Chain A
Amino acid sequence: MKLSFCAHLHQELSLSWRNKSSVLLQCTFLVLASFLFPLGLSDLSTLETLAVPILYVLALMAFSNSFPQIFQKDFEDGTLTQLYLHPVSIHRIALIKALALWISHGLILVAIAPFLAMLLKIPMDLLPLIILSLSLSLLAAALIGTLAASLTLGSKNKFFLTSVLVFPLFVPLIIFGTHAPLSETWSPFLMLLGLFLLYLPISIWLSGFALREALTQ
Chain B
Amino acid sequence: MTQARSMLPRTRYGRIGLALGALLLALVPPFAPSYYTELGTYAMISAMLALSLQLLVGCTGLVSLGHAAFYGLAAYTVYLITPANQGLSILITLPAAVIAAGLAALLVGSLSLRTKGFFFLMVTLAFGQMMFFLFHDTKLGGGTDGAFLSRPILSLFGWEMQLNRRQRPMATYYVALGLLVAMYVGLVLLLRSLFGRVLEGIRVNEHRMQALGFNTYRYKLAAFVIAGLLAGVAGHMWAMHRGFVNPELIGWHRSAEALLMILLGGLGTLHGPIVGALAYTGLTELPQVMEEWKPFASIFNSIGLPKVGAFLQPLSERKLLLEGIVILLVVLVLPKGLSGIGMPRWLRDRIGGRAPARMTPASAAEVRPNG
A and B are partners in one complex rather than unrelated chains = no
Taking Cβ atoms with an 8 Å cutoff, the residues of A that contact B are none
Taking Cβ atoms with an 8 Å cutoff, the residues of B that contact A are none
